């Protein structure tokens, strides 16, 4: 049994994030609720990309009533990434690198294994965060120029998506406690230790330009800081995408 959240399961839905928004708009959500789908017909990724959503993969959104000050919202992205990393590292036993690509993609040996799309629904009556999570469990899409992988291929067995969700929820609530208890500095340090290409050269895209620089820091507001052409550039999640 899940400890804290209700669950609504769909065999097929367009997108669990979209359904979450609809349920919030209809005032049907009062407490943390997982919206889980076996299949999505219009799965959405960050930056208006599609998320290929085949049956057998983990496709879920956690609707979370926001119980902390809105200025900590960027940190939700940080703790979701840390939670997903911990959840996946519990089932992967080999020594290949498992990293968080800022802000919250999970890469195994430089191949994309999981992604997160957080969308907030803020209103005068109630604030919610919709934490959309996709883990390639049984399948991974073939995308030209990108490395992708799946959990079953890594661990050589069939993982159950509900087991992963249960484990993820427990870990996420532990991290939420830390967020509520003002442990941002520790969370950022932990994040940096797991961050893909930290202190290394990265290629990234901002304002339609491809640039190269060294990923030198993550700010206290969870922005990425890259040194490019001897200048430090600070960007938030909407302003940068990586070429990897
Ligand atoms: C990304 O890496 O671009 C984010 C992918 C997020 C995919 C998940 S699957 C469940 C939820 N519903 C969606 O439509 N998207 C998220």
Question: What is the per-residue pLDDT across 15-62, written as a single tens digit (0 to 9) for each?
Answer: 999 999 999 999 999 999 999 999 999 999 998 899 999 999 999 999
What are 132-159's pLDDT values in tens digits? 999 999 999 999 989 999 999 999 999 9
Question: Under a CB-based contact definition with an 8 Å cutoff, are residues 191 and 94 in contact?
Answer: no
Distance CA 127, CA 242 (A): 30
Q: At what angle do helices 161-180 and 73-91 cross, to 10 degrees?
A: 140
Enter the DSSP assignment of 108.
E
Backbone φ and ψ for 35, nearest 5 degrees, come out as -110, 115
> CA-to-CA distance for 6 and 177, rounded, in angstroms?
19
C-alpha of residue 74 to centroid of ligand 1, in Å? 18
Is the beta carbon of 45 within 6 A of some atom in ligand 1?
A: yes
User: How is 188-206 classified by DSSP, letter by letter?
Assistant: HHHHHHHBTTTTSEEEEEE
Query: Which of 2.60.40, 2.30.30, 1.10.4100, 3.40.91 would CATH assign to domain 201-242?
Result: 2.30.30
Matching fold, domains 2-193 and 201-242: no
Q: Does residue 43 have its Cβ closer than 6 Å to ligand 1? A: yes
The per-residue pLDDT for 3 is: 60
Q: Which atom of ligand 1 is nearest to the CA of 114?
A: 2
Give the start-to-end residue ranges of the domains of the chain.
Answer: 2-193, 201-242
Gap from CA of 43 to ligand 1 centroid (Å): 6
Q: Which residue's CA is minimally distant from atom 15 of ligand 1?
A: 44
**pLDDT of 194 higher than 50:** yes
Q: Is 61 in the pocket of ligand 1 (CB under 6 A)?
A: yes
Instruction: State the average pLDDT over residues 50-77.
Output: 94
Alpha-carbon distances of 147 from 141, 144, 152, 181, rounded to whole Å: 9, 8, 16, 37
Q: Does 203 score more than 80 pLDDT? A: yes
Distance 191 CA to ligand 1 centre (A): 21
Distance of CA 162 to the CA centre of its chain: 17
In whole angstroms, what is the distance from residue 158 CA to residue 169 CA? 20
Q: Is 16 close to ligand 1, i.e. is its CB under 6 Å away? A: yes
Q: Could you give the CA distance from residue 114 to residue 47 in angstroms, rounded to a whole number?
A: 15
CATH code given to domain 2-193: 3.30.930.10
C-alpha 214/C-alpha 230 separation (Å) is: 10
**Does position 2 have pLDDT exceeding 50, yes or no?**
no
pTM equals 0.95
């Amino acid at each position: 049994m899940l400890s804290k959240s209700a669950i609504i399961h769909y065999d097929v839905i367009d997108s669990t994030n979209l359904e979450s928004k609809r349920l919030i708009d209809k005032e049907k959500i009062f407490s943390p609720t997982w919206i889980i789908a076996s299949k999505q017909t219009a799965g959405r990724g960050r930056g208006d990309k599609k998320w290929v959503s085949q049956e057998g993969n983990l496709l879920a959104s956690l609707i979370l009533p926001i119980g902390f000050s809105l200025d900590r919202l960027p940190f939700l992205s940080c703790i979701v990434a840390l939670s997903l990393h911990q959840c996946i590292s519990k089932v992967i036993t080999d020594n290949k690198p498992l990293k968080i690509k800022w802000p919250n993609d999970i890469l195994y040996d430089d191949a994309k294994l999981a992604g997160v799309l957080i969308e907030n629904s803020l209103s005068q009556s109630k604030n919610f965060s919709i934490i959309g999570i996709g883990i390639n469990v049984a399948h991974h899409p073939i995308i030209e120029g990108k490395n992708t992988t799946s959990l079953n291929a890594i661990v050589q067995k069939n993982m159950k998506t509900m087991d992963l969700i249960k484990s993820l929820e427990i870990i996420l609530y532990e991290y939420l406690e830390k967020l509520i208890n003002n442990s941002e500095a520790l969370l950022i340090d932990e994040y940096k230790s797991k961050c893909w290409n930290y202190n290394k050269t990265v290629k990234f895209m901002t304002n339609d330009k491809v640039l190269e620089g060294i990923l030198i820091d993550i700010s206290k507001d969870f922005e990425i800081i890259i040194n490019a052409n001897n200048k430090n550039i600070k960007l938030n999640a909407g302003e940068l995408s990586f070429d990897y």
